[in-house]
Structure 1
Amino acid sequence: MSAYRMIILSAVVVLLSAVTLTEGMRYKASPNVCCFSFQSRPLKSTLVASYSPTSSQCSKQAIL
């Protein structure tokens, strides 16, 4: 292989790696669970088995 082809191949590999890494980081940074509809009235405490807060990255805070 000529030096020119090796440079082009290296540039393509670096570019594809950069795109793959940035896409992976974008999906990793997003929260796993967000609420988009809410219960407006309180639940009976006897119906609640466990709870946890949503991620701070969600647009609205909620309890799951």
Structure 2
Amino acid sequence: MFSFFKKDPTKKLHKQLSIKLEQAMHAQRNGDIRKYSELSFEADQIDKQIIEIEKQAKQDG
């Protein structure tokens, strides 16, 4: 009924993803490829969570 009052569950994850990608960019620019790889992997995991939540929302809605 009042679905517009519900919080977006992916909003926090999108913010985390943005932060991880920015950190990865800085690590790459500084030449720290190992740190870049770790941060990119973490960003990929967050992105997969976002996709899964959005997929479930489409199925429920």
TM-score (ref. length: structure 1): 0.45
Higher Rg: 1
1 or 2 for the larger relative contact order (CA 8 Å, sep ≥6)?
2
Which of the pair is proportionally richer in helix?
A: 2
TM-score (ref. length: structure 2): 0.47
